[in-house]
Structure 1
Amino acid sequence: MVILGFGLYRGVNSNVYLSAYAFVKAPFMFVPDLFFNVVVACSIIVCSAVAVTLAWTGRLKANTMPYVLPTALLLAGNLAALLGVILSLPPDLALLVPGLLYGAGSVMLSLFWIEVLSASRPSSIVVQIALGMLLNVVVSSVLSPLPGDVQMRSSCVLLLVSGLCAWFVRRRLRAASCEVETHNERPIAETVSAEPAEALSSKTSLRARWGAYRDAFLELGDSLVAFFVLEAVIGLLNSFMLAGSIDFEGSGAVSAAAIVGAIVVFCFIVFVAHRIPKVSTVSRVVMPVLAAMLVFLPFLSERYNLVFSMLLLGSYYFVALLITYLIAEAAQTRKVSPYVLMGVAMGVARVCLAVALLSGYAAGVAGGGPGDEAEHTMRYLVIIVVVLYALCMALVFFSRDRKRRRAEEASADAPNESAVGTDSVSVPEIDSTLDACCASVAREGGLTEREAEILVYLARGRTKAYIADALFVTENTVRSHVRNIYSKLDVHTRQELLDLLER
């Protein structure tokens, strides 16, 4: 039900956005209409800010994000387009009203589904995202070639099915939450892993909550920066092209091909490679290529523009998929509200997009007219310089972040080198004895289920990279759990941990 509901929602949402409620026959790459996009961006920014504020202050608790209201808003937009209500409005209102409906509805449903995903284990989260996005491709591919009225009718039906899936999933999540509250005295090894997000706000101080969110955003930092940079780059280039009346055949198909390519690569990594790459690594590979291709963009053919646009959009959608997984994983492992993490990510991304759209459009229309070839090329080159600067700054950030983390790993592992040779002596040889010993220490130290699981790997001498691959999480997440384990058990080195397990 999670895969079906999530996939149908994303498919319908993507089709509605790229076609601006079927008013744009061939969407121009990423931006269907400048005014419509600015309205949607502002709506998403406001709704995300409200959701983050309510969740941060504890007024928006776990499993309370509405799904009926946003589904009704999206249905209202589709029905208004189908019945011709939008066409009867003045031109500005004809894009303002559906843009507001789309923005508000998509924010609430996105927060609803990210909470659903975060209720699963990381290995299940990545599979749900991959299969859900495959369904998204199927739905978008089926809807996009249909006539406008058929698109809207089909979208209404699929939204209703997605709403029914959301109702079923919400019931299941609430039942699981009640089960956790009823059995909260059971041993760690027997409890389910989903602790209600509101427990963090009720049992800890504001300072502790701030620390938990700070650590979560630090873990997501380089990934979010890459996402924001790509969002701004896409907004700049597309708005400048629209302002300069630049167009080429196949621009509508570029977006669909980029989405398909990103999802295929994501599924290959998930189901074949069985690991999640770091966004910083992806960005260090892709951004220099994009920067090099940008230099020649004004002078080469439309086919070259197609290749560049496909690579740019494919990189964006691939990073967006990784961001979705990382946010759900961080919320699940750190027991923080996914509303805050996803709300901040969506809000800041749309701020970057709105600023880029308006800046690019202003630069595109400033100076000479659209027919002035020299003026147009010079303005294009100015935009390229700005984009290259953004890409270079992102690369500098990733390089500094990588060096800092390597230094931290070296300083953290240095005191433990002497413990490597004693692992075979300290750790019990029988697995059952080791598991029982770790479970006992975990109960006494108040470790969570995930921390207790990692404790067993640490006792066996496994590295952080090995644990990350085994549990299908990032090394940053493992590193954070290890710090929590050391803090709760009042140990500082691997040797002290092994000595504690021997007692």
Structure 2
Amino acid sequence: MSFAANEAEDVRASASSADSGALPAGKAGASFGSAPRIRAILRDFSWAFLGLAAVRIWIQCTIYDRYAFTDAGLTSVVINASRVILTAIVVAVILKCGFPRNARRILSWFSVSAMTLGSVLFLVDAQLHPGTFDALACILAGCGLVWGGGQWMEFYLRLSPDESFFYALVSLALGSLGGMLLGYLPERVGAMVSVVMPTVSFAMLAWSLRLTQGRLESGRLDPAPKDTRYDDEPATTWVRLLLGLAFIEFAMGIARGFPHGSSFELAPVFQTLHQVGVIGISFAGLYIVLVRNRFMRYSTLWRFMLVLVAVGIILLTSLNWYGLSLGSTSIAIVNTVMLSVLWFTCYDIARHASVIPYVFLGVVWSVFLLAREAGRIFVMMVPPHDDFVTFVDVLMILALTMSIAVMFTDRIPVKREMFEGLRFDAGKLVLAFDALPAVSVSDGPQRVDLVQVYGLTKREAEVIDCLMQGKSKAQVGRELFISENTVRGYVKNAYSKMDVHNKEQLREKYYRS
């Protein structure tokens, strides 16, 4: 029996047991390796797909001081303020002029350069004259990060919900593992690592897009959007989601500088607890959704986050060292996990809306950063007096209560349940495995459908076919009864549509294995 047939048989068994409400015999303790959904994802696995972990390691080293403290104080505020300003500009330009591929490429190169130069300046500043390049480094780092992480959405939108969920959480866990290891090394090592991370992320993204291009051409990959159901969603839905996010982030911004505005130093054991907590939550989410096939409601996930924040705030109000350490750790865990929650939320909405994905991504991240840094600035300005500490306590609890009031419901969104794509559908998984060709050594390269995949005209496809048979432009012209100049025109149009620049690139996109 072939690989595909084996996989399909396993999925049918899972589907049958799911219908009966029990796990398959011998699989009561289902592991990651035995789960059909995980196996389906790992079939096309590449380490390059985990490139978001490099971005997160850079963020930890550059913006949050490897989480040795709750944040880097004013440095974090300035970097995030720069991010919000540039994000607003980029969103405005996208809405007015669109976002063509060339513009995305230019922005990618700018991001890599700005993030790298920012890291270099931080490193030089720390080693030579502290404070000399601090402001410039903050602005460059913040502006570079706007697209440094956002550019990965193009890759994620090529993935199925299961794959996107898997790579988002594994990248988060891998980033935490890297951050935990760097936390035990000298600060200078972390600064040097942050210098190379933007280039590593950029290279991994380029490779990921290239790998998934083959799946796109073969029809095994459906690009977003899948539908536009969110286009009819009432405006109140998005207002409530953004308000709920703003309130919880404002409370967390205050908590990061509680009680007197300065960053709280975390002992190594609490730094480790933070990173291990994130890794544990990431793999718990993967196990619940992709192994046990349980649907995770958006509202349930949000309530879990609110509970962790509430626990953190309660511990902070104890004002003793252990309470402050545990409370700060709880807040740090939520802040880190929130990155993946918001990322997958933006991915889910982008697949079911006609709006340009980067617009919603920019709006969500701007609200996320603005609210949090507003809370951070507020607590910096509060006088270090016990009466004011009580006032800050009340304000954090009030902001958390407002977030609960806005988000504590299963009724939003209205048109489509958030994360619906993660519901287990055994039928679709069986079809996916059944559709896999049996592996055969005799299988050679096959021509892609140039008209369907790249939008070439029939005549352009004929010209490219002749070229790929080794014929010259003059021979192609004689065979098709057209001039050599006309042939050149068809080739130029085809190259543009296929986004290739030479014969080698053309050959790679012309064939599929």
Asked if Structure 1 and Structure 2 have the same fold, meaning a TM-score greater than 0.5 normalized by the shorter chain, the answer is yes
Pairing 1:72–2:72 present: no
* Alignment partner of 1:238 out of 256, 270, 273: 256
Amino acid at match of 2:183: S
Query: Is contact 2:249–2:368 with CA below 8 Å preserved after alignment?
Result: yes
Cα 1:100/1:391, change in 2 over 3 Å: same
Partner of 1:183: none
Pairing 1:383–2:397 present: no
SS in 1 for 2:152: helix
Where does 1:14-29 land on structure 2 (aligned, <5 Å)?
A: 14-19=60-65, 27-29=68-70
Pairing 1:37–2:76 present: yes
By how many angstroms is 1:45 displaced?
0.6
Query: Is contact 1:40–1:102 with CA below 8 Å preserved after alignment?
Result: yes
Partner of 1:315: 334
Partner of 2:459: none
Partner of 2:466: none
Partner of 2:189: 150
CA distance in 2, matches of 1:238, 1:174: 42
CA distance in 2, matches of 1:68, 1:390: 39
SS in 1 for 2:233: helix
Partner of 1:492: none
Amino acid at match of 2:290: F
Structure showing the higher helix proportion among its residues? 1
Q: CA RMSD in A?
A: 3.8
SS in 2 for 1:60: coil
Moved more, 35-44 or 134-143: 134-143
Query: Is contact 2:68–2:266 with CA below 8 Å preserved after alignment?
Result: no
Cα 1:110/1:286, change in 2 over 3 Å: closer
Where does 1:179-328 land on structure 2 (aligned, <5 Å)?
A: 192-194=221-223, 215=233, 224-243=242-261, 249-250=267-268, 252-253=271-272, 255-275=274-294, 277-285=296-304, 287=306, 290-291=309-310, 294=313, 297-299=316-318, 301-328=320-347
Cα 1:195/1:392, change in 2 over 3 Å: closer
The count of aligned residue pairs is 377
* Alignment partner of 2:142 out of 79, 86, 103: 103
Cα 1:244/1:127, change in 2 over 3 Å: closer
* Alignment partner of 2:204 out of 165, 176, 181: 165
Cα 1:214/1:172, change in 2 over 3 Å: farther
By how many angstroms is 1:102 displaced?
1.5
By how many angstroms is 1:383 displaced?
0.8
Q: Deviations over 1:229-263 (max 9, x none)?
A: 33211211222335368666456445434433432
CA distance in 1, matches of 2:295, 2:239: 16
By how many angstroms is 1:103 displaced?
0.9
Cα 1:74/1:387, change in 2 over 3 Å: same
SS in 2 for 1:240: coil
SS in 2 for 1:194: coil
Structure 2 unmatched runs, 5+: 1-45, 427-513
Query: Is contact 2:251–2:397 with CA below 8 Å preserved after alignment?
Result: no
Query: Is contact 1:227–1:349 with CA below 8 Å preserved after alignment?
Result: yes
By how many angstroms is 1:311 displaced?
2.8
Partner of 1:5: 51
CA distance in 2, matches of 1:464, 1:78: 37
What TM-score does the superposition give when structure 1 sets the normalisation length? 0.64
CA distance in 1, matches of 2:99, 2:422: 32
Amino acid at match of 2:402: M
By how many angstroms is 1:36 displaced?
0.5
Partner of 2:465: none
Cα 1:287/1:313, change in 2 over 3 Å: same
SS in 1 for 2:51: helix
Query: Is contact 1:55–1:340 with CA below 8 Å preserved after alignment?
Result: yes
Cα 1:290/1:104, change in 2 over 3 Å: closer
SS in 1 for 2:371: helix
Amino acid at match of 1:393: M
Amino acid at match of 2:424: A
CA distance in 2, matches of 1:159, 1:404: 37
CA distance in 1, matches of 2:143, 2:419: 40
Structure 1 unmatched runs, 5+: 181-189, 201-208, 410-453, 455-462, 473-503
What TM-score does the superposition give when structure 2 sets the normalisation length? 0.63
CA distance in 2, matches of 1:212, 1:174: 27
By how many angstroms is 1:306 displaced?
2.9
Partner of 1:112: 151
SS in 2 for 1:163: helix
CA distance in 2, matches of 1:260, 1:283: 18
Amino acid at match of 1:167: A
CA distance in 1, matches of 2:360, 2:118: 27
Q: Deviations over 1:341-388 (max 9, x none)?
A: 11111111111122111111111xx2xxx4xxxx32x21111111111
Query: Is contact 1:43–1:103 with CA below 8 Å preserved after alignment?
Result: yes
CA distance in 2, matches of 1:467, 1:75: 36
SS in 2 for 1:470: coil
Query: Is contact 2:225–2:352 with CA below 8 Å preserved after alignment?
Result: no
Partner of 2:169: 130
SS in 2 for 1:243: coil
Aligned sequence identity (%): 16
Query: Is contact 1:258–1:317 with CA below 8 Å preserved after alignment?
Result: no
